[in-house]
């Protein structure tokens, strides 16, 4: 008798749960039916967003491939030191130049790389204002290029005699990643510019940090000339 009551109770609970699920189904179905217009509109919007996102990613991928191909052509010219040609391209049209890449593909990964090479080229030609513009324009996520943009700005400000801002940019370059290849050079340049700005307290502080971080650096022997006066 007890077993029969238990079975009956369990069966009733199952029927109750099934009824609740069925009621939920009816409520949801009724909601969709009453709001069919809005429901399908929302689905359409989601579909459009997904399609646009896919097309955008494909477009960016295609643009980056094109930019990369152009960058490979101009890189060899850049490395020879023919900076005018690297910037504007050659008369034969074999290379369209860094300026073309930045103007047309600046938001791609290769376009961001081209910004640094373009800024370096203007720096080499002593066109400091344009170099500053393109170093500042870099917005990529590659650490060594981000450090190069800060270092480049440091060099621009140093060339203009703005040693305080030069030191700030070199220090930013150093702090991007203290383990990067040129970290000691960036910190050394920060020290040099702080010294030239006559910020002797800041110079002393960075010299101590340099000795701690880079005890075997080739720049260690040059620190003496930038030691603050006592």
- Give per-residue pLDDT as tens, 204-221: 999 999 999 999 999 999
Closest CA to 115 of 102, 104, 130: 102
Q: For residue 200, what pLDDT is reported? A: 96
- CA–chain centroid gap for 221, Å, is 35
CA separation, residue 119 to residues 84, 100, 153, 161, 175 (Å): 12, 13, 9, 19, 21
Token reading at 7: 């079975």
The secondary element (H helix, E strand) that includes residue 115 is helix 109-124
- Report if residue 118 sits inside a domain: no
The pLDDT value recorded for residue 64 is 67
pTM listed for this prediction: 0.73
Least confident range of 9-18, 45-54, 71-80, 182-191 = 45-54
In a domain, 55, yes or no: no
Closest CA to 211 of 175, 194, 179, 187: 187
The residue range of the domain holding 190 is 141-230
Q: Which among 177, 182, 184 has a CA at the least distance from the CA of 206?
A: 184
d(CA 82, CA 27): 73
Average pLDDT across the chain, whole number: 82
The verdict on residue 127 lying in a domain is no
Per-residue confidence band for 67, with pLDDT thresholds at 50, 70 and 90: confident
Listed residue (136, 150, 130, 149) closest to 190, CA to CA: 150
For the stretch 1-52, pLDDT in tens is 444 434 445 545 544 555 655 565 555 556 556 665 554 555 445 544 444 4
How many separate domains does the chain show? 1
CATH number, position 149: 1.25.40.10
């Amino acid at each position: 008798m007890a077993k029969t009551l238990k079975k009956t109770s369990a069966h009733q609970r199952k029927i109750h749960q099934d009824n609740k699920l069925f009621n939920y189904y009816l409520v949801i179905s009724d909601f969709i039916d009453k709001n069919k217009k809005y429901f399908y509109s929302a689905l359409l919007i989601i579909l459009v967003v997904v399609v646009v996102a896919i097309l955008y990613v494909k477009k960016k991928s295609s643009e980056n491939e094109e930019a990369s191909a152009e960058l490979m052509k101009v890189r060899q010219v850049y490395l020879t030191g023919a900076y005018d040609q690297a910037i504007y391209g050659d008369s034969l049209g074999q290379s369209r130049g860094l300026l073309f890449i930045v103007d047309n593909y600046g938001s791609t990964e290769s376009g961001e790389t081209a910004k640094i090479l373009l800024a370096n080229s203007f720096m080499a030609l002593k066109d400091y204002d344009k170099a500053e513009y393109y170093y500042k324009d870099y917005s990529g996520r590659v650490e060594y290029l981000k450090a190069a943009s800060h270092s480049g700005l440091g060099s621009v400000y140093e060339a203009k005699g703005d040693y305080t801002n030069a030191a700030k940019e070199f220090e930013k370059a150093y702090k991007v990643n203290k383990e990067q290849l040129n970290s000691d050079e960036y910190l050394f340049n920060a020290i040099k510019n702080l010294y030239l700005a006559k910020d002797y307290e800041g110079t002393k502080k960075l010299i101590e940090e340099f000795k701690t971080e880079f005890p075997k650096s080739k720049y260690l022997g040059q620190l003496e000339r930038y030691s603050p006066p006592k």
